[in-house]
């Protein structure tokens, strides 16, 4: 149940076709323990943003999942997500990625929560 949310000041017109799907595939692909049907990606381009005092391309990323969040996992995720955002012109030093390990009981899906799913 990987969730990826990307806020960026890169204009929507500058995003390649299929970019949201690529985001979903990259983040979901890093979590092979979850079926693809549970992966959700949301890209919000054209945001009014500043990073380091300038409005050059930048991003703020929220990467959430149940489990598989930790020191070494997050380093690998950061490498892949940095590469992904680099493909739309965001330099690796112009983004923050926030990782969150969500408790199963705090994520609802299909009329229940993941605490009651196998």
| Spatial CA neighbour of 81 closest among 35, 46, 43, 34 | 43
Catalytic sites, residue numbers: 2
Nearest CA among 20, 24, 23, 19 for reference residue 37: 24
Q: How would DSSP label each residue in the chain?
A: --EEEEEE-S-GGGSPTTHHHHHHHHHHHT-TTS-GGG-EEEEE-S----BTTB-SS-EEEEEEESS--SHHHHHHHHHHHHHHHHTTT--TTSEEEEEEE--GGG-EETTEEGGG--
């Amino acid at each position: 149940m990987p969730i990826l949310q990307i806020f960026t000041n890169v204009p929507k017109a500058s995003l390649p076709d299929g970019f949201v799907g690529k985001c979903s595939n990259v983040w979901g692909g890093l979590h092979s323990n979850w079926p693809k049907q549970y992966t959700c990606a949301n890209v919000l381009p054209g945001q009014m943003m500043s990073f380091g005092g300038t409005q050059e391309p930048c991003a703020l990323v929220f990467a959430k999942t149940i489990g598989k969040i930790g020191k070494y996992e997050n380093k690998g995720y950061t490498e892949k997500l940095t590469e992904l955002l680099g493909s739309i012109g965001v330099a690796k030093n112009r983004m923050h990625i926030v990782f969150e390990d969500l408790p199963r009981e705090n994520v609802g899906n299909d009329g229940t929560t993941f605490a009651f799913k196998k």
